């Protein structure tokens, strides 16, 4: 993570979020929105005591993408063992925790239902409060986390320009304080990660597509193909469908010509087009809204070209989580859960999943 080492910078913690009693608050996080079954324990929204992720990627690879019913059933098999292990690794029993935070949406309805029902059962049995968490907010709070034993670093300062780039979302959000969001724009069609996954499948690479494209692109020329960039000027929206069609057309043209596909060049040129748009629009928005710092989170923020490019071009401080916290995990759910907990959120046991829960509704 890029972060401040400037000892003069003021921690921007909001006074109302200071913990009144000095007892640490420990929250169990549960995440099952897509194809990762995850459980974690986090202290005071920042210190990771345990963080376990069981990825189903191998299971879905044969379908070239997430098969929702297979995902739900695999969550059912994995969820309790992974929660038990997360408690064991944190050296805590459930009665020593303060709350249970669980992803309520957005995500696949059947997958979300497994996590939320598990959390309800644990809450009922243990009397711990239940806190439903928005997955996009959780990605944002991945920036606050650090491993037990590591040095604490300053929290980001507001206004904070946030780019959430994942398999389901590409969202530009201005964060003005803890739990306070203004959605500026988002993708009109495919999410950035979805575009990576679809182009990966087109090129015959394995699922998930982001890491496969990134690997193939390492030996490719990003200027080999001049793929389109949809700037959508005067808006904070994105579109990746034109880029996807352009790559598809190029692949068909090359195939018709009978030449072997230059996979590395196609992957590198595609990746460069996505990164260009993400970086330029994020920097423009940061300037326009006078953001003090920039935060990038979500699965696509694991991409090295994206990380390097924005770090080179941005003038201020950039926060990007370490790779293992970019993709779906439960530590970020527990982290967001802490800030919701101290803000007084307690959810009843009859809450439903919210598969299309926009951050603008928070």
- Give me the residues that bind ligand KG4 (CB under 6 A), please: 34, 166-168, 193-194, 196-197, 208-211, 214, 298-300, 302-303, 327-328
Contacts of 9 (CB under 8 A, 6+ apart): 154, 157
Find which of Zn ion, ligand KG4, none residue 302 binds, CB within 5 to 8 Å per kind. Answer: ligand KG4
CA 331-334-340 angle, to 5 degrees, is 145
Nearest distance from residue 151's CB to ligand KG4, in Å?
Answer: 26
Tokens 């193909």 sit on residue: 225
Nearest distance from residue 46's CB to ligand KG4, in Å?
Answer: 20
Could you tell me the CA-to-CA distances from 105 to 30, 114, 313, 334, 356 in Å, in that order?
12, 12, 33, 14, 7
CA proximity to 62, closest of 31, 80, 35, 32: 35
Find which of Zn ion, ligand KG4, none residue 208 binds, CB within 5 to 8 Å per kind. Answer: ligand KG4
Binding string to Zn ion for residues 312 to 331, with x set by CB under 5 A, is what? Answer: ----------------x---
Find which of ligand KG4, Zn ion, none residue 222 binds, CB within 5 to 8 Å per kind. Answer: none
Nearest distance from residue 168's CB to Zn ion, in Å?
Answer: 7
User: Total binding residues for Zn ion by CB under 5 A?
Assistant: 2
Nearest distance from residue 34's CB to ligand KG4, in Å?
Answer: 5
Nearest distance from residue 126's CB to ligand KG4, in Å?
Answer: 28
Q: Which is nearer to ligand KG4, 122 or 247 (CB)?
A: 247
Q: Which is nearer to ligand KG4, 159 or 222 (CB)?
A: 222
CA proximity to 183, closest of 163, 168, 167, 165: 163
Tokens 């080179």 sit on residue: 312
Segment 108 to 147, residues that bind Zn ion, using CB under 5 A? none
Q: Which is nearer to ligand KG4, 180 or 304 (CB)?
A: 304
Q: Which is nearer to ligand KG4, 146 or 196 (CB)?
A: 196
Distance CA 267, CA 274 (A): 11
Length of the chain, in residues: 362
Distance CA 30, CA 84 (A): 12
Q: Which is nearer to ligand KG4, 140 or 251 (CB)?
A: 140
Distance CA 171, CA 293 (A): 16
Nearest distance from residue 135's CB to Zn ion, in Å?
Answer: 6
Q: Rg for the chain (alpha carbons), in Å?
A: 20
Distance CA 264, CA 274 (A): 15
Distance CA 165, CA 163 (A): 6
The answer to whether 324 and 52 have CB atoms below 8 angstroms apart is no
Q: Which is nearer to ligand KG4, 196 or 238 (CB)?
A: 196
Q: Which of 51, 86, 162, 166 binds Zn ion (CB under 5 A)?
A: 166
Find which of ligand KG4, Zn ion, none residue 327 binds, CB within 5 to 8 Å per kind. Answer: ligand KG4
What tokens were used for 292? 């003090």
Nearest distance from residue 158's CB to Zn ion, in Å?
Answer: 23
Distance CA 137, CA 145 (A): 13
Distance CA 55, CA 67 (A): 13
Is residue 303 near Zn ion by the rule CB under 5 A?
A: no
Q: Which is nearer to Zn ion, 97 or 172 (CB)?
A: 172
Nearest distance from residue 60's CB to ligand KG4, in Å?
Answer: 11
Q: Which is nearer to ligand KG4, 146 or 270 (CB)?
A: 270
Q: What residues make contact with Zn ion under the rule CB under 5 A?
A: 166, 328
């Amino acid at each position: 993570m890029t972060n401040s080492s400037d000892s003069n910078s003021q921690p921007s913690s909001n006074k109302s979020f200071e913990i009144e009693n000095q007892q640490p608050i420990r929250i169990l996080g549960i995440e099952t929105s897509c194809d990762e079954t995850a459980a974690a324990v986090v202290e005071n929204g920042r210190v990771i005591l345990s963080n376990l992720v069981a990825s189903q990627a191998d299971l879905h690879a044969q379908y070239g993408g997430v098969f929702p019913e297979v995902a739900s059933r695999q969550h059912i098999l994995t969820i309790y063992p992974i929660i038990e292990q997360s408690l064991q690794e944190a050296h805590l029993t459930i009665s020593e925790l303060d709350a249970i935070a669980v992803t309520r949406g957005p995500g696949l309805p059947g997958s979300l239902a497994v996590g939320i029902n598990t959390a309800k059962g644990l809450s009922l049995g243990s009397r711990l409060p239940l806190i439903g968490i928005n997955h996009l907010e959780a990605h944002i709070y991945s920036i606050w986390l650090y491993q037990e034993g590591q040095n604490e670093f300053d929290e980001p300062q507001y206004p904070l320009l946030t780019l959430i780039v994942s398999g389901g979302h590409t969202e530009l959000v201005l964060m003005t304080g803890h739990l306070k969001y203004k959605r500026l724009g988002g993708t009109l069609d495919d999410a950035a990660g979805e575009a990576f996954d679809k182009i990966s499948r087109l090129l015959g690479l394995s699922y998930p597509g982001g890491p496969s494209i990134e690997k193939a692109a390492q030996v490719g020329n990003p200027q080999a193909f001049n793929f389109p960039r949809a700037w959508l000027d005067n808006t904070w929206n994105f579109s990746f469908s034109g880029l996807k069609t352009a790559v598809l057309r190029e692949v068909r043209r090359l195939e018709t010509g009978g030449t072997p596909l230059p996979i590395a060049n196609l992957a590198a040129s595609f990746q460069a087009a996505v990164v260009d748009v993400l970086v330029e629009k994020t920097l423009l928005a940061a300037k326009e809204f006078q953001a003090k710092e920039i935060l990038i989170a979500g699965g696509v923020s694991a991409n090295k070209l994206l990380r390097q490019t924005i770090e080179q071009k941005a003038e201020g401080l950039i926060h990007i989580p370490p790779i293992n916290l970019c993709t779906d995990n439960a530590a970020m759910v527990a982290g967001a859960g802490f800030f919701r907990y101290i803000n007084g959120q307690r959810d009843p046991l009859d809450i439903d999943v919210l598969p299309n829960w926009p951050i603008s509704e928070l």
